[in-house]
């Protein structure tokens, strides 16, 4: 029987279902975490006793955004080291700061701050790769977000994994601890890169991921230097080397994929490897411009990610969408490329597919999980409304998000957090930052 516990009432609905136009005066009925019914054009609805109602008049109702790649707890290092070459940034600033300051406590509060920031800017699902991932998983669970949380794997002593020979043992144990704890959290593995993980480590990580039917994430061809290093070691470009190792398949999520030749794009497409585009991080570290239009043309499933906060320096996917569209146009000197619809798909329905969650989230359809946001249109920069997709990609920012719902639970109502004490989280991270600064 239809007995909704949450009603989102009266907005312009963007379902992100292929071919569907925006629907006016739409109302969503949500029951036990799922979308139970969609009423359109101001259809009369019966009174439902006990249901919470979100007033969505003068808003756009749309699927929550999917941040397909990040290192959530790196909020701790936001603004610590900027405007440096990647190697210097990584080896002289970030790795030493991580070695000295990461532990269960700092990762928990850093990740929680990232969750607060993502809720405040309309992200409902995130993909994370880092260390001390029990702490990240606890933070995400506390925040109420949906996530793929992957234990970092690197063949060097790492935070929480001082003996690299144990990296996969630690990763597998993390998966076993979290695989059945919550329907919102999926654990996994994240291999840092082809230059920091051996061939054997990569192959073993893939075996473990496939045994648990989980995706395996890896930073792929992020910089020219990295590509050169792989060629020097193996005689092959990175994607060709992964093919040689038998690692190109649907379970692999390649992040960045900035420096690809045609043959590599073909191989990724043929083997259904998923890719995550992180334009702001690539711009800030001057890594280059990914060939996204070419990948879309080959039907590669592409998601959008902010990457970690130390190379962005925010987790606002609205800004990332705007940047992705404009960077794609300027790279090809063609304003038709990377249109708003393509970019919004990357941040919703395609992002869900990258993470293997397309049956559950990414669009607003009856039977799918209720991961939904509303955008407040009562702002000068959002008036008038001719095309909701253009407004979202080119005019809106995360601060325009009004309500956030994950799995049918309201996490932010009218910009007030309902599940978290944001003041407490910010105070804790400020306190930790004093230790990092000294």
Find the shortest distance in angstroms from Cβ 301 to Zn ion: 18
Closest-CA residue to 117 (of 309, 267, 343): 309
Q: Which is nearer to Zn ion, 307 or 371 (CB)?
A: 307
For tokens 């210097």, the residue is: 88
Distance CA 79, CA 139 (A): 22
**Residue 432: other Cβ atoms inside 10 A:** 17
Q: Is 226 in the site for Zn ion (CB under 5 A)?
A: no
Q: Say how many CA atoms lie within 13 Å of 253 toward its Cβ.
A: 34
Binding span for Zn ion by CB under 5 A among 25-33, 259-267, 299-307, 371-379: 299-307
Q: Say how many CA atoms lie within 13 Å of 258 toward its Cβ.
A: 23
252, containing H or E segment = strand 252-256
Find the shortest distance in angstroms from Cβ 219 to Zn ion: 6
List binders of Zn ion among 90-119 (CB under 5 A): none
Per-residue contact string for residues 249-288; x = within reach of Zn ion by CB under 5 A: ----------------------------------------
Find the shortest distance in angstroms from Cβ 186 to Zn ion: 18
Q: Which is nearer to Zn ion, 226 or 307 (CB)?
A: 307
Q: Which is nearer to Zn ion, 15 or 282 (CB)?
A: 282
Binding span for Zn ion by CB under 5 A among 13-21, 148-156, 303-311, 353-361: 303-311
Closest-CA residue to 106 (of 116, 98, 94): 98
Tokens of 221: 């061809």
End-to-end, the C-alpha distance of the chain in Å comes to 60
Q: At what angle do helices 104-120 and 133-143 cross, to 10 degrees?
A: 40
Q: Is 134 in the site for Zn ion (CB under 5 A)?
A: no
Q: Which is nearer to Zn ion, 195 or 374 (CB)?
A: 195
Distance CA 321, CA 58 (A): 22
Binding span for Zn ion by CB under 5 A among 47-55, 147-155, 304-312, 336-344: 304-312
Find the shortest distance in angstroms from Cβ 271 to Zn ion: 22
Q: Which is nearer to Zn ion, 67 or 363 (CB)?
A: 67
Find the shortest distance in angstroms from Cβ 175 to Zn ion: 20
Distance CA 270, CA 293 (A): 17
Q: Do the Cβ atoms of 145 and 158 come closer than 8 Å?
A: no
Find the shortest distance in angstroms from Cβ 324 to Zn ion: 16
Q: Is 307 in the site for Zn ion (CB under 5 A)?
A: yes
- Which residues lie near Zn ion (CB under 5 A)? 307
């Amino acid at each position: 029987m239809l007995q909704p516990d949450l009603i989102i009432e009266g907005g312009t609905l963007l379902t992100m279902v292929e071919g569907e136009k925006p629907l006016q005066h739409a109302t969503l009925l949500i029951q036990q975490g799922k979308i139970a019914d969609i009423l359109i054009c101001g259809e009369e609805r019966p009174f439902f006793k006990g249901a919470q109602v979100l007033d969505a008049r003068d808003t756009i109702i749309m699927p929550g955004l999917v941040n397909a790649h990040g290192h959530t707890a790196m909020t701790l290092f936001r603004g610590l080291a900027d405007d440096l070459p990647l190697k210097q940034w990584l080896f002289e600033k970030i790795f030493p700061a991580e070695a000295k300051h990461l532990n269960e406590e700092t990762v928990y509060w850093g990740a929680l701050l990232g969750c607060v920031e993502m809720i405040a800017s309309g992200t409902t699902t995130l993909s994370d790769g880092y260390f001390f991932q029990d702490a990240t998983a606890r933070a995400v669970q506390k925040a109420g977000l949906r996530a793929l949380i992957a234990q970092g794997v690197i063949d060097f002593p790492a935070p929480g994994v001082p003996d690299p020979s144990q990296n996969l043992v630690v990763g597998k144990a993390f998966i076993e601890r979290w695989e059945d704890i919550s329907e919102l959290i999926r654990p996994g593995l994240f291999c840092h890169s082809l230059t920091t993980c051996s061939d054997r480590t990569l192959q073993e990580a893939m075996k473990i991921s496939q045994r648990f039917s989980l995706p395996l994430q890896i930073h792929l061809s992020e910089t020219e230097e990295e590509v050169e290093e792989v060629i020097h070691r193996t005689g092959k470009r990175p994607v060709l080397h992964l093919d040689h190792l038998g690692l190109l398949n649907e379970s692999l999520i390649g992040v960045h994929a900035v420096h690809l030749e045609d043959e590599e794009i073909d191989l990724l497409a043929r083997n259904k490897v998923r890719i995550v585009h992180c334009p702001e991080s690539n711009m800030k570290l001057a890594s280059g411009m990914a060939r996204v239009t070419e990948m879309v043309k080959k039907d590669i499933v592409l998601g959008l990610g902010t990457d970690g906060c130390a190379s962005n320096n925010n987790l606002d996917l609205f800004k990332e969408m705007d940047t992705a569209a404009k960077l794609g146009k300027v790279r090809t000197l063609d304003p038709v490329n990377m249109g708003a619809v393509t970019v919004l798909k990357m941040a919703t329905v395609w992002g869900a597919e990258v993470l293997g969650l397309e049956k559950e989230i990414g669009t607003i359809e009856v039977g799918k999980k209720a991961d939904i946001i509303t955008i407040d249109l009562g702002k000068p920069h959002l008036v008038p409304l001719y095309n909701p997709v253009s407004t979202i990609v080119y005019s809106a920012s995360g601060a325009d998000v009004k309500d956030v719902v994950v799995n049918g639970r309201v996490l932010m109502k009218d910009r007030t957090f309902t599940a978290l004490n944001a003041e407490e989280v910010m105070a804790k991270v400020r306190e930790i930052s004093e230790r990092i600064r000294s």
